[in-house]
Each structure stands twice: as structure tokens, then as C-alpha cells.
Amino acid sequence: MHFLTKKELDSEARRVSGGKRAAATVEAVRRGKDRVLIICGPTDVEHPVFVPKIGSAMIRLPEAIKIESPDGFVCKPTWAFWVSLETFDPFHFVIDSEGP
């Protein structure tokens, strides 16, 4: 099950990974009503940073959903974050984008 709502998943903002950008593995968690993605470290998953396969389906992450470091610092995107549509619940991967 994906952590995004049906309305968010129906967004037009979709993209396919070209396999040229590094991605970070994140874990989707809930804090009350808020949804947060926490960057995984090497003690959490085998490959915390990797290059996703070409053709990986992505969707633009809604601005209301924050990405945090394991220490709780909020990460800011260069332009926008993109999150994988495929899931290894509760894990996903995110890519930082420089522009449309």
C-alpha cells in the first residue's frame, strides 16, 4: 500500500527515472495526521543510496510531506522531490530534482 492518498497518486506530475541520478532510501512514517519520509542509513537498509533502474516510475512528492534526516533535520529540495511509485512498504526511494 502506498503512503500517498488516491488523489495524490492520481496527480499528473509523473516521471520515469532515467537511471542517472542517485536516490536515497526512505521510510514512510505517520506522526499523528502528518506523513514524513525519513532517510535511511546503512544500519537501516542494505543500500541507503543507489542509482535506480531505468524506467522506475516516480511521482512528485507533495510539498506537505517532509523528508527528514535520521537526526530529525528537514531536508529541502533543490526544486522538488520525486518519490517512487513502487514500494517495499514502508520503504521508498526519493530523488531531488533541479527543475521540471
Q: What is the pLDDT of residues 26-62, one digit of tens each?
A: 999 999 999 999 999 888 888 888 888 888 888 899 9
Q: Is residue 66 part of a domain?
A: yes
Give which of 13, 10, 7 is closest to 61, Cα–Cα: 13
| pLDDT above 80 (res 82) | yes
CA distances from 99 to 4, 34, 62 (A): 22, 26, 15
Q: Is residue 79 part of a domain?
A: yes
| 18: containing domain | 6-97
User: In this structure, are residues 69 and 75 in contact, taking their beta carbons and an 8 Å threshold?
Assistant: yes
pLDDT category, 86, cuts 50, 70, 90? confident
pLDDT category, 68, cuts 50, 70, 90? very high
Pairwise pLDDT comparison (58 vs 11), residue with the higher score: 58
**CB neighbour list of residue 65: distance below 8 Å, 6 or more residues apart:** 35, 36, 37
State how far the Cα of 23 lies from the Cα of 9, in Å rounded to an integer.
20
Q: Is residue 43 part of a domain?
A: yes
pLDDT category, 1, cuts 50, 70, 90? low
User: In this structure, are residues 57 and 16 in contact, taking their beta carbons and an 8 Å threshold?
Assistant: yes
pTM of the model: 0.82
Task: Specify the pLDDT at position 12.
Answer: 67
**Total domain count, the chain:** 1
Q: Is residue 1 part of a domain?
A: no
